[in-house]
């Protein structure tokens, strides 16, 4: 359990550092993730529509 806590806090510290050190790159990364989620949802909607 101790390793999980250390990795969790380390990951959170890295994300916080990344947000403050490179806010533009962090925003681009978040935008990219949301674009991928939206594209996946659109693809799933098209698949379901084509089933009918």
pLDDT tens, position by position, 1-52:
799 999 999 999 998 998 899 999 989 999 999 999 999 999 999 999 999 7
Residue range(s) defining the domain that contains residue 45: 23-52
Q: How far is CA 43 from the centre of its chain?
A: 18
The verdict on residue 16 lying in a domain is: no
The verdict on residue 11 lying in a domain is: no
Per the structure, the count of domains in the chain is 1
E strand intervals along 1-52: none
The verdict on residue 30 lying in a domain is: yes
Report pLDDT for 52: 74
The verdict on residue 43 lying in a domain is: yes
Using CA atoms, how far apart are residues 48 and 42, in angstroms rounded to an integer? 10
The verdict on residue 46 lying in a domain is: yes
Using CA atoms, how far apart are residues 33 and 52, in angstroms rounded to an integer? 30
């Amino acid at each position: 359990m101790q390793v999980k806590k250390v990795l969790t806090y380390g990951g959170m510290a890295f994300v916080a550092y990344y947000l403050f050190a490179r806010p533009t790159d962090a925003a681009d990364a978040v935008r990219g993730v949301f674009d991928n989620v939206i594209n996946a949802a659109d693809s799933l909607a098209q698949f379901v529509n084509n089933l009918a």
